[in-house]
Amino acid sequence: MRNNRILVDQTLNVSSAVSTILSGGAKAENIFGQVAGAVTLGTTSHFEGTILGKTGINMLTGATSNGRMLAQTADVLQMATITQP
């Protein structure tokens, strides 16, 4: 099993209606994003994997994730869905 890490030293903003696409046999349970700032997943966006956020994680209306959203302060879901891989 190979884990893939994404390191972001600022904020992570995923635009509305943007989807993460995994290829080459990658699986959501092996993707880890470490973010130093705030995380925002725009409306109807989709993220694959786990996000470890230093501050808050905001998932706007209709955003989805196949993974986990873990933050030190707060996770805010606005009619959003998280599915555990």
The predicted-structure confidence for 62-81, as pLDDT tens digits, reads as follows 999 999 999 999 989 999 99
pTM equals 0.88
Number of domains in the chain: 1
What pLDDT does residue 42 have? Answer: 97
Task: Please enumerate in sequence order all residues whose Cβ is within 8 A of that of 12, keeping only pairs 6 or more positions apart, or say none.
Answer: 33, 35, 37, 38, 39, 40, 51
Q: Which residues contact 24 (CB under 8 A, 6 or more apart)?
A: none
Token digits for 79? 């009619």
Residue 1 pLDDT greater than 70, yes or no: no
Mean pLDDT of 39-68: 96
Q: Is pLDDT above 60 for 27?
A: yes
Q: Domain containing 18: what range? A: 4-83
The token duo for 77 is 């879901």
